[in-house]
Structure 1
Amino acid sequence: MNRYLLSAGALVLGTGSAFAHVTFETQEAAVGSTYKAVLRVPHGCDGKATTTVRVQIPEGVISVKPMPKPGWTLQVKKGKYEKSYQLHGQAVTSGVKEVNWSDGSLPDEFYDEFVFRGTLAADLPAGQTLYFPVVQECDGVAERWIEIPASGQDEDALESPAPGIKLAPQQ
């Protein structure tokens, strides 16, 4: 029993700062697979309710479909990919580049999740982290979770890190 308590304590102490940031529930996925992104928003901005959550979809994440959220307006911005990808034997050259949930209200004292799914292209580099910049807007204030660590930089050193997923080898 003590072993479990120590593990739980280490988890809480080791991830305390992560709870203050927008993060993904599942932080690893295999290239070439479908990834269900559950974006966790733990608080508002400076005590104000969150009214908009915008997620930039990085290159190599294709066929993105966001989940509608009751009480929120859902919009996507589409555009051309930098290159052509194969999906179910078909060439895919454009798709969702940004997902935007707006006109909602998530009070500062509550937590919520915003969900989308997409396919991680088979040629993404396994072993690296893929970042999804997020802007969280609240009545006249915004939190920009857009910082991406430079090569060799510790992600924990960033003040406003973008949520990311570690790319595992294709299975």
Structure 2
Amino acid sequence: MQTTAWPAWAALVAASLITSAPAAAHVTLERSEASAGAGYKAVLRVPHGCDRSATLKVRVTIPEGLIAVKPMPKPGWTLAVAKGPYQKAYDFMHGLTVKEGVREIVWTGRLADEHYDEFVFSGFVASAVAPGTTLAVPVVQECETGTAAWTEVAAPGQDPHALKKPAPLLRIVAPPEHHRHH
């Protein structure tokens, strides 16, 4: 009978959701690797609010070495950027040098705790960023009640899985062979 198969199927789905939930409990980047000297599209995944409270703001700090950043507007959300100087000048495309750019992005709207959403921006990983470097992308969720600051970075030798509120991390890799300058 069909009616007896449905509860078993529902139990499997529920079990898979429960067992996968802890891995997706914090804000993460969809792609956690980018090439030095190349463009990068960041997709920040926000899986829930703060202690069952809706998210009202998503505030992202742009790490040093990620330049020429442009946020993607979201329908129903307002968008603000704060620009400022980089710690040093970076060579950009076609000999252009950039000394300042977007340092923070803030999306303001409402994301219910029971919903999931993504916040997107694009940028360019400066060629001066050495492969093997890890850039932290701190994110702060401001909610109706409380704040979740996903800003912790593991100290050398510390297990990053031990952090309660880890910042999303972007690992820089060497550019593909056909993109390297000779």
Aligned residue identity for 2:98 = V
Give the CA RMSD over aligned residues. Answer: 1.6
Structure 2: gaps of 5 or more residues: 1-16, 177-182
SS of equivalent to 2:101:
strand
Overall identity of the aligned pairs, in %? 54
Aligned residue identity for 2:138 = P
| 1:98 counterpart residue number | 104
Aligned residue identity for 1:92 = V
Aligned residue identity for 1:90 = L
| Structure 1 CA distance for aligned equivalents of residues 64 and 20 of structure 2 | 28
| Structure 2 CA distance for aligned equivalents of residues 15 and 120 of structure 1 | 31
| Aligned positions, number | 159
Q: Is the Cα–Cα contact under 8 Å of residues 50 and 145 in structure 2 kept in the other structure?
A: no
SS of equivalent to 1:147:
coil
| 2:11 counterpart residue number | none
Deviation at 1:44, TM superposition (A): 0.5
Structure 1 residue runs of 4+, over 6 Å off? 12-15
Structure 1: gaps of 5 or more residues: 1-11
Deviation at 1:106, TM superposition (A): 0.6
Q: Is the Cα–Cα contact under 8 Å of residues 64 and 95 in structure 1 kept in the other structure?
A: yes
Aligned residue identity for 1:117 = S
Q: Which has the larger radius of gyration?
A: 2
Provide the TM-score with structure 1 as the length reference: 0.89
SS of equivalent to 2:76:
coil
SS of equivalent to 1:18:
helix
1:122-133 residue pairs with structure 2 within 5 A? Answer: 122-133=127-138
SS of equivalent to 1:156:
helix
- Bigger proportion of residues as helix: 2
Provide the TM-score with structure 2 as the length reference: 0.83
Distance 1:15-1:35 versus aligned 2 partners, 3 A rule: farther
